[in-house]
Amino acid sequence: MGIRHEAREWALQFLFQSEFNREDTVEEGFRLFWQHQDEENSSPAPVISSEERSRKKARLFAEELAKGVIEHHRDIDARIIHHAENWDIGRMGTVERNAMRLAVFEMLHRHDIPPVVSINEAVELAKAYSSTESAKFVNGILDRIRKEIDRPARDPSPAPPHAESK
């Protein structure tokens, strides 16, 4: 499993958990989340330094994604609602909703990631944590959102001059 895929899984899990466990701050939420991850994945074998570096990179990317979704959730949700014909966002499954949020955040704010990669990752997360039908639902909505975004679908594009550097 790649670093970014693992990070997206963690970001999805964090966002899922955040909908049910409201911590005082995002930082406190992540502290508890990582503590739980460490407890779940503890092994007697020593961690090799390259594995440790990869894990740190994945954690940083997961936090960037989740914090970005939280920061931009109004705009992200508005886009999802606009393209989810006859669907209230509150009625969508928590996995599907948060997988789409991650992909929309990436499409809007991570210009180094091609939109089709973001969509594919969200579809794979929906398959893994929900169902094939959910993955089709996620794919349909995200593809409609992708079409309205002024970016190449398959190539990373340079960040616009006014975009935040990440």
- Nearby residues of 60 by Cβ (< 8 Å), 6 or more positions away: 7
Residues 6+ apart with CB under 8 A from 160: 111
Tens digits of pLDDT across the chain (166 residues): 799 999 999 999 999 999 888 777 888 888 888 888 888 776 556 556 788 888 899 999 999 999 999 999 999 999 999 999 889 999 999 999 999 999 999 999 999 999 999 999 999 999 999 999 999 999 999 999 999 998 888 877 665 554 444 4
| 8 Å CB contact between 71 and 38 | no
pTM score: 0.86
The residue ranges of every structural domain in the chain are 3-148
- Please check whether residue 42 is in contact with residue 136, taking contact to mean a CB–CB distance below 8 angstroms: no
CATH number, domain 3-148: 1.10.940.10
